[in-house]
Amino acid sequence: MAMTCDDIQAMLDREGGLTTGEARDHVHECPACQDAWARWQAVQRELRAMGEEETPPFLHTRLMAHVQSAAHAEQGKSAWLFGLKRIWAGPLFVLFLGILLGGFGLLQMLKPKFSAPPAPLSQRQAISKAKAGPVEPSKDEARTSAKAPGFPPSELASPAAPPEARREPAGLAAPPAVSEESKAREAPSLFAPAPAQETAGQEPYRPLSNRPAAASPEGGAEAAPDPGAPSRAARAEMAAPQSEDQAPAEVVCTLSPLSGPGPFISLQLPSEASPPSGGIWTIILSPGGALRVQDVQGKAVTAPERILQEIIHPLHIPPGSYRLKRIS
């Protein structure tokens, strides 16, 4: 069967040429197919020429510039990331650790603030008393304390504390409006609680020694001073007016070494663990841990365990002789 013109055209499309003798014979004899064949060859030549066309000038330069730019950008990016990792790994780790520890510390500060029961009215009244009539330590007292060598300076007062902090009871002489300076003087003291920001309506956290006795069944182990506790003067500002017929559950006392220089420490203590109003107790703590508490007449006080629980253990008082004076 002879090939048709359509067969020739299909062969050209399919095979890309006249691949059989029969096809070549047909083209040889058919003018239309000769024309189609010539046309097909011209197209193929032109297509091949397209594969050899001139390219734009500076093609290589432009391509290389683009590739190098992209490569540098990627290297810079990876180098930046690598450098960031290498240079900042340490500081970032330290920062992370700081945030972690700070957050933990903050939680520790806030935790008792929310869990502490509100201070009873009697405490406020006691503080209010102190606010109404701040008791300055007498000159004799100050003199005695300045001579008393009881407290090791390194334990009892911060080296950064100014000399006034050793001579004056920081919290006691403060006026109702507490200045920043007096707060700063309170803060470095090992015994005095550090000042804290208080907001209106928010009950300040009180250390165990300041709570009612029922609130601290475990005793001294939990009675460590809280660094976040507000200053006494700040607490005094929050105190409600006191009615005269209510006995104060807490009283303000000062603790000072019996001899040698040493700081006054202002304390809020349960009334049963403090001397009677205006009274002074002498506390003698032996190196073996034995405690003796006596009043000015030399009579032993019957509740030294409360002294241990409220003062000695929480404040880590070193062995020595001390004077505990009730000032409110």
Partner 1 sequence: MTPVLVYPWTMDERGPTDKTLHRDWDADAASVARFQAGDEEAFEALVRSREKEVYRTALRILGDPEDAMEAAQETFIRVFRSLKGFRNDASFKTWITGICINVCRTMLSSSAGRMKRRSTGLIKESRADGDDLDPGIPDRAPDPSSSALGSELNAALAKALMILSPEHREVIVLRDIQDLDYDEVGEILDCPAGTVKSRLSRAREALRLALEGIWP
Could you list the residues that contact partner 1 (CB under 8 A)? Answer: 9-10, 12-19, 24, 27-28, 31, 34, 37-38, 40-44, 46-51, 53-56, 59-60, 62-64, 66-67, 70-71, 74
Least Cα distance to 234 among 265, 268, 276, 277 occurs for 268
Q: Which is nearer to partner 1, 22 or 222 (CB)?
A: 22
Q: Which is nearer to partner 1, 55 or 297 (CB)?
A: 55
Strand partners, 318: none
Q: Which residues lie below 8 Å from residue 65, measured CB to CB, with a gap of 6+? A: none
Distance of closest approach, residue 2 Cβ to partner 1, in angstroms: 17
Distance of closest approach, residue 86 Cβ to partner 1, in angstroms: 22
Element of type H or E holding 107: helix 59-115
Distance of closest approach, residue 44 Cβ to partner 1, in angstroms: 6
Distance of closest approach, residue 3 Cβ to partner 1, in angstroms: 14
Which CA distances in Å does 277 have to 232, 244, 247, 326? 19, 15, 11, 6
Distance of closest approach, residue 74 Cβ to partner 1, in angstroms: 8
Q: Which is nearer to partner 1, 56 or 287 (CB)?
A: 56
Q: Which is nearer to partner 1, 60 or 139 (CB)?
A: 60
Q: Which residue carries 């066309």 as its tokens?
A: 53
Distance of closest approach, residue 38 Cβ to partner 1, in angstroms: 6
Q: Which is nearer to partner 1, 17 or 319 (CB)?
A: 17
3-state secondary structure of 268: strand
Q: Which is nearer to partner 1, 65 or 84 (CB)?
A: 65
CA angle at 245 for the pair 243 and 250, rounded to the nearest 5°: 75
Q: Which is nearer to partner 1, 34 or 122 (CB)?
A: 34
In angstroms, rounded to a whole number, what is the distance separating the alpha carbons of residues 311 and 223?
Answer: 9
In angstroms, rounded to a whole number, what is the distance separating the alpha carbons of residues 236 and 132?
Answer: 9
Which CA distances in Å does 272 have to 248, 276, 307, 309? 10, 9, 9, 12
In angstroms, rounded to a whole number, what is the distance separating the alpha carbons of residues 46 and 215?
Answer: 102
Least Cα distance to 328 among 150, 124, 192 occurs for 124
Q: Which is nearer to partner 1, 5 or 106 (CB)?
A: 5
Distance of closest approach, residue 22 Cβ to partner 1, in angstroms: 12
Distance of closest approach, residue 28 Cβ to partner 1, in angstroms: 6
Least Cα distance to 237 among 310, 323, 171, 324 occurs for 171
In angstroms, rounded to a whole number, what is the distance separating the alpha carbons of residues 58 and 309?
Answer: 91
